[in-house]
Chain A
Amino acid sequence: MELAWPDPKDTTVLGKRIVRLDGPDKATGRAKYTYDTNRPRMLWAKYTTCPHGHARVKSVDADAAQKMAGVVAVEVLAPAGAELNVAFAEVAIVAAESEEIAREAVRRIKVEFEVLPHNVVDDDPQAAGASARPGRANVQGDPDAAFKEAAAVSETEVGCSIITHCCMEPHGSAVEVAADGKSLTAWCSTQAISGKNGRFANEAGIGDASTSVAICQHMGGGFGSKFDIDTWGQWAAKLSARTKRPVKVMLERDMELALAGSRPSAFARMRVGCKEDGTVTAWESEAWGSGGTGGGVGVRELPYVFGNVPNKRTRTTPITTNTGDQRAWRAPNHPQMALLTMAAMSDCAAELGMDELEFFKKNLGYTQRAKVYEEELNLAAELIDWKKKWMPRGDQADVVRRGLGCSIHTWGGGGHDSNVQCTIHPDGAVEIACGTQDLGVGTRTALAIVAAETLGLPLEKVKVSIGDSRLPPSGGSGGSTTIGGISSAARDACVQAANALFEKVAPELGGDAKKLVAKGGKVYAADNEAKAIPWDVACRSVGAQPLVTTGKQQRALMQQGVGGAQAAEVEVDVETGIVRVLKLVAVQDCGRIIDLLTAESQVRGALIMGVCSALYEERIMDPVTGTLLNPDMEFYKLAGIADVGELVVKMMETPEHLGRGVIGLGEPPVISPMAAISNAVANAIGARVARCPMTPDRVLAALHKKKGA
C-alpha cells in the first residue's frame, strides 16, 4: 500500500460527512472535562485578586482566612511591596474543603494597596501619553507621488476593541499527588497535553515526567489561550504537594475574562489611492492598539493579503496598557488586519463609485493566490446573490437599510510534529494512540477516519486514545497545525501496519504482498477479490503478539497556505443603530478534507465568532479605576442563537484543492467575518462605523458624523 492519500473518488469515510465519535458522550453529559474532576478528599482553591489596574501591595492579612474551619492552606502570592499591573491579578490563594468555604475565605483576606498610576486607554495614542511608543515609518516606492496621481483617494478610520477568548470551560487544572508522594496525576484543560506531566511534576517538586501523568480527555475551548499550565496549574501542583491532597484550581469567570488571554486591539487611519479602473496604487496607514502590559498591537503588516501594493507608507504604534496580556487568539492579528485593510479598500471602491467586489477582484494581482481568490469570491458572490442585491452606498432612504460586504483572507497551516501508534491485535481489534488533544474540532474522529479508511474497516472497529501524556507525543494545537500532523502520521502508521499484515497473510492470497488491499472489512489481492479473507481472520496471521507500528508526520501528505472569501448581508436600523446579520457566506479551501461535517461545523463556528467580535464582544476598561467593567458573561456579550443569521459554508472540493494534501482549518475562516460585516454596514448606511463591535451607539455616531460632514 502506498503512503499517498487515496483518490477522493475511491474513499469510503475519508472526506465524507462523519459525525464526531465523542458526540454521544458530550450530548449525554458523560464526557469528563478537567472542571468535572472530582477526587476523594479533593480541595478547592480560589484566589484573592487585585481590584486596581496598577497598585503596590502594602499589607496582606490572611489571619481570618487561615483560622476558618475548612481552610487547609493559604498562600500569599503578592506580599507587601509586590507591584501588580493589572486588575484581577492574583494576591493570595486559598485551598479549602469545599468551593463555598474557599470562596468565603478569599473574601476574608484583607489587602491594603497603594494605588499607582495606570493606563487602560488603547484607542488614542495621544491620550495614552508615554504608554504609546510610535514605531518607525516603513516606506516602499513613492507613496506621495502615487497619491498625487491617483484618480480617487479615500480616507478611513476604523478599528476593533480588545476581545478575550472567553472559553466556556475556564482555565484550570486538578492535581493529585499519589499517597507515596512520588508521583502525580494532573487533569488540565489544555491545547497541548504532551509533555505537561513533566511541567506539573516540576512545579510540585514531586518525582519527574516518568512518574507523572497529565490527562485532557475533553476540553471546553481554548482558541489559542491554553498552551501553558499557567500559574494556576503551578499552584494546583504546589498546593497538592504541600497538602498531600488532590487540589482543583479553576478560574472564576472574572479572572478568566481579565487575565486568561485576549486579542490585541487595532485601530488605524488609512488612505488608499487608485487609478480610474480601480487598480490600487498607493497605501498609507497609521495604526495603533494594545495587547496589554507588554504593549503589542494587532497589526503585523498592512495592507493585509493585498501586500504587493507598490507604493506604501505604514507605521504602527503599540500602546502599553494595564490590561490582561494578549495570547494567541485564533489567527493572531489576521482578523484585525483584515478589518483594517478590507475597510480601507472598500471605502476606496466607494470613493471611486465602483462595486467593492469588482474592486477587490481588480486588485488580486497584489495577493499570493489571485486565481484561488477569484474563484472563491465568485462563488461567495453567487451564494449571497451579490449581483442582484448589491446597491451603491447611500442609495437607501428607508429606516431599515440593507448592505453587502466581502473580505478575503489567508493562513499558513501545515502540520506539527506528531507520532501515532497503530496496533493491530491478533483478534482484529485496531487501536490508534496519539498524545494529541481534541479542542472540539474533531481530532479524535479524524484519527479514526484515517485509520478506518487506510485499513478498510468500519469506524466502530477503530479505538482511538488521545489526551494523555503517556501516549506517543504530538504537538500543541496551535496555528491550524494539528490536522496535518496527526492525519499524516496516522496514515503513515496505518500504511506501515497494513503492509506488515499483508506480508504475513500474502502466502494465503497468492504470495504477492504488494498486490494486497484492505477494503470493506476484508483483505484480498487486487486482481482476485473473490478470494478474500475477512479482516479478523487475516489478523490471526499476526501471531501471538499484536502488530505495532509508529507513524510520523509526513510532508508529502500535508501542505500549507490557504485562501478563503466571505460575504455578509446585513440590515441596519438607522433610528436605533441596531445591526442584524441576515446571511454570511464562507467559501474556504483547506486542501484535502478529512471529515467534511466537522470541517463545515468549524467554519460555521468561526463565522459566529466573527459575528460576536463584529457586533457584541469587547473588553471594557474603566479609565478611572483601571479595572475591567464587564468581567461576566452578561456584559461580556456573545451572540445568541437568534443573532447569527443564515450561515452558508462552501468547502472547496475541486480535484486541484483536494490534491494539495491536508491543511489546517482552525484559523482561516475566523479572519474575514468582522471585515465583511463592517463593509456590509458601511454599504447599508453610507458611513464607516469606526469601531468593532459595532454597537448601536457607534452606529448612530457614524450616521451623525456623516450627517455633519
Chain B
Amino acid sequence: MSNRQEPAPSGFTRRSFLQGMGAGALAAGTGVLAPKIANGAPQDAAKPALCGPDPVPVTLELNGKKVTLPLEPRVTLLDALRNHLDLTGAKKVCDRATCGACTVLLDGKAVYACTVLAIEAQGRKIETVEGLAEANQGIATMQRCFVENDAQQCGFCTPGFVMACESFRRSHPKAARDEVLQGLGGNLCRCGTYHGVTQAVLDAIAGGK
C-alpha cells in the first residue's frame, strides 16, 4: 500500500483525543465543547479540551465547497458523507479499514473514510468519487477507463477503487504494471474485477484511450 499514508494531524488527532479522554472522566456529562477544536484550529496538547458528545458544528471542504453541518464527534467521515450529506458513492463494506470501498482523498491522499472521524477531516481538502466526476464534465479519465475495461461488476467496490486508483495515478504518473499491483493492495473486490482495474489504471496513466 505504497500510496496510503496516515492522515496528517488537523488539530484533532487520535492522541489528543485519547489525552482528552483522561480529562473526560472529570468533566463527564458536562458536554464541554470547545468550538475552536470543532472547527479544526490547532490546539495545545497540554490543555486538552472536550467536544461532544452532542453534535458540534463541523466544516468540511468537500469537493471544493465548504459545508458546515452539526455532527456528533463520533461520526466518521464515511457516515457524514453517506448519512448526512447523501454522498453515497463511498461505500460501507468492512467498516474496519480493510476493504477500501470507502476510499476518498484527503489532501490528495487516499484514506479509508470509515476510519477517519469527520471532525478530523476539517481543514483538509476532501475529494469524493462524485466530486472527481463533477470536476471532469461528469466523468473523469480514470472513471472512463474503468467503464471501457469493464473494471466493475456489481460495482459496490468500484467507487473506492476508482479513488484509490486516482490517488495512485497522481502519485505514480509513470507506474508500470507491477507497481500498480503493489500500490492497489488496499482495496478488495468480491466479483473479481482486478484484471479490468489493472488495465484501467494503466490506460489512465497512458492518458486514457
Q: Which residues of A contact B (CB under 8 A)?
A: 19-20, 22-24, 26-33, 35-36, 38, 98-100, 166-170, 218-221, 223, 252-253, 439-441, 597-598, 600-602, 604-609, 632-634, 638-642, 644, 647
Closest A residue to B92 by beta carbon equals A35
Closest A residue to B1 by beta carbon equals A640
Q: Are B79 and A23 in contact (CB under 8 A)?
A: no
Q: Are A28 and B190 in contact (CB under 8 A)?
A: no
Q: Are B154 and A253 in contact (CB under 8 A)?
A: no
A29-B192 contact given A23-B147, A220-B156, CB 8 Å threshold:
no
* Interchain CB contact (< 8 A) of B155 among A22, A170, A253, A647: A22
Instruction: Specify which chain B residues have a CB less than 8 angstroms from the CB of A38 in the assembled complex.
Output: 82-83, 86, 88
* Interchain CB contact (< 8 A) of A605 among B89, B143, B153: B153
A27-B182 contact given A221-B156, A221-B190, A641-B198, CB 8 Å threshold:
no
A604-B88 contact given A24-B143, A221-B156, A633-B99, CB 8 Å threshold:
no
Instruction: Specify which chain A residues have a CB less than 8 angstroms from the CB of B113 in the assembled complex.
Output: none
Q: Are A642 and B181 in contact (CB under 8 A)?
A: yes
In the docked arrangement, what's the CA distance between A606 and B194, Å?
Answer: 12
What's the nearest-Cβ distance from chain A to residue B145, in Å?
Answer: 9
Instruction: Judge if B33 is at the interface, Cβ distance under 8 Å.
Output: no
In the docked arrangement, what's the CA distance between A601 and B90, Å?
Answer: 23
A35-B158 contact given A23-B152, A98-B83, A641-B194, CB 8 Å threshold:
no
Given contacts A24-B139, A221-B190, A632-B98, 9 further A-B contacts (CB under 8 A): A23-B152, A29-B159, A29-B162, A220-B155, A220-B156, A221-B154, A441-B153, A608-B194, A641-B194
Number of contact residues on B: which range applies?
35 or more
Interface segment among B8-16, B23-31, B128-136: the answer is: B128-136
**Max chain A C-beta neighbours (<10 A), residue from B93, B94, B156:** B156
A29-B95 contact given A23-B146, A221-B154, A641-B194, CB 8 Å threshold:
no
Closest B residue to A167 by beta carbon equals B190
Q: Are B91 and A169 in contact (CB under 8 A)?
A: yes
What are 7 A-B contacts with C-beta separation under 8 Å?
A19-B148, A24-B144, A24-B147, A220-B154, A609-B192, A632-B94, A642-B181
Closest A residue to B133 by beta carbon equals A28
Q: Are B189 and A168 in contact (CB under 8 A)?
A: yes
Instruction: Specify which chain A residues have a CB less than 8 angstroms from the CB of B98 in the assembled complex.
Output: 632-634
Instruction: Judge if B51 is at the interface, Cβ distance under 8 Å.
Output: no
Instruction: Specify which chain B residues have a CB less than 8 angstroms from the CB of A24 in the assembled complex.
Output: 139, 143-144, 147
In the docked arrangement, what's the CA distance between A638 and B192, Å?
Answer: 10
Q: 1/0 per position for B40-55, CB-CB distance to A under 8 A?
A: 0000000000000000
Instruction: Specify which chain B residues have a CB less than 8 angstroms from the CB of A29 in the assembled complex.
Output: 87-90, 128-130, 133, 159, 162
**Max chain A C-beta neighbours (<10 A), residue from B88, B89, B90, B153:** B153
Which positions 173-199 of chain B face chain A at CB distance < 8 Å? 180-182, 184-185, 187-198
What's the nearest-Cβ distance from chain B to residue A598, in Å?
Answer: 6
A644-B91 contact given A28-B133, A31-B155, CB 8 Å threshold:
no
* Interchain CB contact (< 8 A) of A604 among B133, B139, B180, B192: B192
Q: Are B190 and A168 in contact (CB under 8 A)?
A: yes
Instruction: Judge if B106 is at the interface, Cβ distance under 8 Å.
Output: no
In the docked arrangement, what's the CA distance between A638 and B188, Å?
Answer: 7
In the docked arrangement, what's the CA distance between A229 and B201, Å?
Answer: 38
Q: Are A641 and B150 in contact (CB under 8 A)?
A: no
In the docked arrangement, what's the CA distance between A634 and B95, Å?
Answer: 10
In the docked arrangement, what's the CA distance between A606 and B192, Å?
Answer: 7
In the docked arrangement, what's the CA distance between A440 and B185, Å?
Answer: 22
Q: 1/0 per position for B76-111, CB-CB distance to A under 8 A?
A: 000100110011111111111011010000000000
What's the nearest-Cβ distance from chain B to residue A227, in Å?
Answer: 16
* Interchain CB contact (< 8 A) of A27 among B99, B158, B192: B158
Closest A residue to B99 by beta carbon equals A633
What's the nearest-Cβ distance from chain B to residue A388, in Å?
Answer: 24
Instruction: Specify which chain B residues have a CB less than 8 angstroms from the CB of A609 in the assembled complex.
Output: 190, 192
Closest B residue to A170 by beta carbon equals B93
* Interchain CB contact (< 8 A) of B157 among A32, A168, A602, A632: A168
In the docked arrangement, what's the CA distance between A23 and B72, Å?
Answer: 35
What's the nearest-Cβ distance from chain B to residue A604, in Å?
Answer: 5
In the docked arrangement, what's the CA distance between A67 and B147, Å?
Answer: 49
In the docked arrangement, what's the CA distance between A669 and B82, Å?
Answer: 35
Closest A residue to B129 by beta carbon equals A29
Instruction: Judge if B22 is at the interface, Cβ distance under 8 Å.
Output: no
What's the nearest-Cβ distance from chain A to residue B57, in Å?
Answer: 17
Instruction: Specify which chain A residues have a CB less than 8 angstroms from the CB of B185 in the assembled complex.
Output: 640-642
